[in-house]
Chain A
């Protein structure tokens, strides 16, 4: 049980930071150039999903630990 918790807990630290940075930079970009918000959105979501995938790997590991 502890191993499961550690796997997902440690695995999501980096992901949380990563998604935070992505969101912060996207906000910054929109703040500089508000007309570009439509163009920023899709690449931002893509990058978020890439970062999120790492947490998902940790989650799969957490599920598969018996």
Chain B
């Protein structure tokens, strides 16, 4: 953080804020710099996909070759999570879309010019520097949206695969409450055990909210912390010192994208397997 002296009015304040700053407004709706770079990534992915779609060949060359290596490795990991190639084929488009979006967003934030080219905004007595672009995943709104989409989709997929009655009983366990009168004569302890099981099901609902929180905060925290780290390293010595940290951030961006997509896959494969205790 390179927080300048705030008392001086002529100084331009340039600090890494926790939130993305609005660059311009469309009507009342603020367009933030993170949103702009997220759209840039979307355009990039769409253009890449459309241009590659025409050129897919049996014997791959160039970019197709690289992507096939990525897909091979990805499917290897997916199979070890889902347990079957059929299931990973079904989930792969969704999960790989997350992977590429998050990966490109993480890496876009590291490009030179992102976060350093911008405009100066006057608010009150102070002048603020607002960059035009900021890594899309360095904004909590983006990661929260991604995590929400992922968790909601995992539930939808669960309902489709398992059936809504069975799926509902994972969380609000009516089945176990209805079991009590049937089995109470044979096994009186069920009066104690089954209500506990019912409450365990209710706790799972909180677990679902925790999933969203942990997914979004993990990604946001890692990428934002990386930006702050790079900024503070360049503030210490701008020549050469940030280079090893740049490498670190490239690896962190890759690992975080991998973890995000694998966790999405894990949530999906957990919700599609019927609970058998």
Residues of A participating in the B interface, judged by any CB pair closer than 8 Å: 42, 45-46, 49-50, 52-53, 56-57, 59-60, 63-64
B97 sits at the interface (CB 8 A): no
**Distance A57 CA – B213 CA, assembled complex (angstroms):** 10
Chain B interface mostly helix, strand, loop or mixed? Answer: helix
Instruction: State which residues 242-265 of B face A: CB under 8 Å.
Output: 255-256, 258-259, 262
Among B225, B259, B262, the residue within 8 A (CB) of A59 is: B225
- Kindly state the separation between the CA atoms of A14 and B258 in the bound complex, as whole angstroms: 24
- Name B's A-contacting residues (CB within 8 A): 18, 77, 214, 217-218, 220-222, 224-225, 228, 255-256, 258-259, 262
Roughly how many angstroms separate A53 CA and B224 CA in the complex, as a whole number? 13
Whether A56 pairs with B221 at a CB distance below 8 angstroms is: yes
A60: which B residues are within 8 A, CB to CB? 18, 217, 220-221, 224-225
CB contact between A46 and one of B214, B221, B224, B262 (< 8 Å): that residue: B262
Q: Could you tell me the distance between the alpha carbons of A19 and B258 in the complex, rounded to whole angstroms?
A: 18
- SS class of chain A's interface: helix, strand, loop or mixed? helix
Whether B255 pairs with A45 at a CB distance below 8 angstroms is yes
Which residues on B sit within 8 Å (CB–CB) of A50? Answer: 259
Count of inter-chain pairs, beta carbons less than 8 A: 36
Contact A53 B255 (CB under 8 A): no
A-B contact pairs, 23 of them (CB 8 A): A45-B255, A46-B258, A46-B259, A46-B262, A49-B256, A49-B259, A52-B222, A53-B214, A53-B218, A53-B221, A56-B217, A56-B218, A56-B221, A56-B225, A57-B217, A59-B221, A60-B18, A60-B217, A60-B220, A60-B221, A60-B225, A63-B18, A64-B18
In the complex, A64→B221 CA distance in Å?
A: 11
How long is the Cα–Cα vector from A52 to B18 in the complex, in angstroms? 19
Report Cα–Cα, A5/B158, bound state, in Å: 43
Q: Which residues of A contact B258 (CB under 8 A)?
A: 45-46
B23 to chain A, nearest CB (A): 22
Closest residue of chain B to A64, judged by CB? B18
Q: Which 9 A-B pairs have the closest CB atoms?
A: A56-B221, A53-B218, A60-B221, A49-B259, A59-B225, A56-B222, A49-B255, A63-B18, A57-B217
Which of B217, B225, B228, B262 has the most A CB atoms < 10 Å from its CB?
B225
Q: Give bound CA distance, A42 to B224, whole Å.
A: 24
